[in-house]
Chains A and B, each alone.
Chain A
């Protein structure tokens, strides 16, 4: 396989490029080796200390474990041939002459869940909608123990399948600190100067259900939703009605990327409750909650109500993903496309 593809130029330059590519890959692997080892030591600190105290080497353990696995019938053949259930690992695309194609996803659905849907449809595979909440819950529980981009992608693909809303764990290169966690119930937020909590309810039901939550004493992390009452639109109203507080201060790159905060302001997200298959499209409207609370997100009173999530001892966990909606076509609020039988 010509791994340099169209970019390669036969002869001396190709050899030079190959050497450079080798050095880049080698450097990346060495860096990964160090970070994986450091993560291991951090995660299993007590165990590593115990090994050292008993003059045992981690590398010896690795070698012995490999031998045991090989002898245990976990042969290299099954491990190299079965990469993903129902799929095989695709070969890397060759590099094109220009750089515009290098963003192309390596795996179907790896970056765009809609591609995964097309991929499934193309293979004639049927989606069992009734099983999706359980599948998402199972994946999300795995994610809690084993957070990885791979599981994030699988979850976002499943949520896209379940709701019809294109959902992504990574959008425009940005990702959250977590995509699954406990929700706390938030208060209403001031939408414009002079706003009052009473203005947040129009019907008797809304008055009874949502006004008791009260209104936060300060503004949300992104300020008012509209500069004045006269400029306040239905869109602004929906944004406050369906908002989440996310730990933006823990998002990777939040402090190093100056544009990140404005990118995040009222960014559209989907919240999926795998306990009941309910989903709501909302925006990131505030920052929080604090880490010590044990919660990862906060939800507006309306959002918590629609997802049937509660706070307190029985607090609920849900999946949160970005909504890939560059043309801003997907409305905020409960997702209507959830099949009846799932609910």
Chain B
């Protein structure tokens, strides 16, 4: 799996999505794909709140791996980061639920 840290807990998400019957390696594969999608969505949400100049500034801070500085920068530029992130995740999870329901419907059709 690509990440050692992820925005969501694998077991919890798999449980919420009703995917715990899959083998562990299959769950890992699905989770990695899901987190990749989520990360892009989160990055998109953050960048959308910044100006072009701020996006570059933020990237340099982010890549410096100075977590405190990154945290401070985000809290200064984005009023309610928690809310923003929660909204992205709500949207993301609902999308996943729809996809999985669609997958089950497709299985029925096969």
Knowing A74-B81, A74-B85, say if A7 contacts B108 (CB, 8 Å): yes
- Quick one: which of B1-47 are within 8 Å of A by CB? 2-3, 5-9, 12-13, 15-22, 26, 29-30, 33-37, 39-47
- A71 lies within 8 A of B71 (CB): yes
- A150 lies within 8 A of B19 (CB): no
A105 and B33 alpha carbons, distance in the complex (Å): 25
- A46 lies within 8 A of B63 (CB): no
- A79 lies within 8 A of B3 (CB): no
Size category of the A interface is 35 or more
- B93 lies within 8 A of A89 (CB): yes
> What's the least CB distance linking B42 to chain A, in Å?
6
- B108 lies within 8 A of A79 (CB): no
A33, A44, A102, A148: the one contacting B91 at CB < 8 Å is: A148
Quick one: CB contact mask for A184-207 with B, threshold 8 Å, 1 for yes? 000000000000000000000000
A44 and B41 alpha carbons, distance in the complex (Å): 12
- B44 lies within 8 A of A76 (CB): no
Knowing A40-B40, A62-B43, A68-B70, say if A102 contacts B104 (CB, 8 Å): yes
Knowing A37-B40, A69-B85, say if A80 contacts B101 (CB, 8 Å): no
Chain B neighbourhood of A145, CB < 8 A = 48
Closest residue of chain B to A110 (Cβ to Cβ) is B94
Closest residue of chain A to B107 (Cβ to Cβ) is A21
A21, A69, A74, A76: the one contacting B104 at CB < 8 Å is: A21
Chain B neighbourhood of A39, CB < 8 A = 44
A102 and B85 alpha carbons, distance in the complex (Å): 31
Chain A neighbourhood of B103, CB < 8 A = 21, 24-25, 28
- B33 lies within 8 A of A47 (CB): no
- A26 lies within 8 A of B29 (CB): yes
Quick one: CB contact mask for B47-81 with A, threshold 8 Å, 1 for yes? 11000100110010011010100110010000001
A151 and B41 alpha carbons, distance in the complex (Å): 16
- A80 lies within 8 A of B19 (CB): no
Q: Of A91-99, A234-242, A246-254, A326-334, which stretch is located at the interface?
A: A91-99
Knowing A33-B33, A76-B9, A92-B101, say if A1 contacts B18 (CB, 8 Å): yes
Whether A63 is near chain B, meaning CB under 8 Å from some CB there, is: yes
> What's the least CB distance linking B2 to chain A, in Å?
8
12 A-B pairs (CB sep. < 8 Å)? A1-B21, A3-B18, A7-B108, A36-B37, A59-B2, A63-B3, A64-B63, A67-B5, A78-B86, A83-B89, A148-B91, A149-B94
- Going nearest first, the 4 A-B pairs with the smallest beta carbon separation are A62-B39, A29-B33, A80-B12, A68-B70
